[in-house]
Amino acid sequence: MEKRNKPYIQHEEPGLKKYCACSLSRNLPYCDGSHHGTGMHSYKVEIETAKTVAICGCGSSKNKPFCDGSHELLQET
């Protein structure tokens, strides 16, 4: 994902979501298909009830695509 020191906070309605894993999307945090040819794949997540989610923007989460707070350990640039 695009390197930033904070998550993308998104309100999601129920349904299948595809979040970017390659950082090439022009519609972050969502996949726009730009990963084709890289060998990477989007993160597919079924959202069952409307809710707000925090999608990792720093690339350091161990629970991708979700933020796990690891960005707190990064220095501001």
Please identify which residue in 48, 57, 65, 75 interacts with ligand FES, judged by CB under 6 A: 57
Closest distance to ligand FES from the beta carbon of 27 (Å): 18
Phi, psi of 43, deg, nearest 5:
-85, 120
Please identify which residue in 21, 42, 53, 61 interacts with ligand FES, judged by CB under 6 A: 61
Please identify which residue in 6, 22, 23, 30 interacts with ligand FES, judged by CB under 6 A: 6
Query: How distant, in Å, are the alpha carbons of 8, 39, 41, 49 from that of 12?
Result: 12, 27, 21, 8
> Of 55, 50, 61, 42, which is closest to residue 15 (Cα–Cα)?
50
Applying CB under 6 A, the residues found at the interface with ligand FES are: 6-7, 56-58, 60-61, 67-71
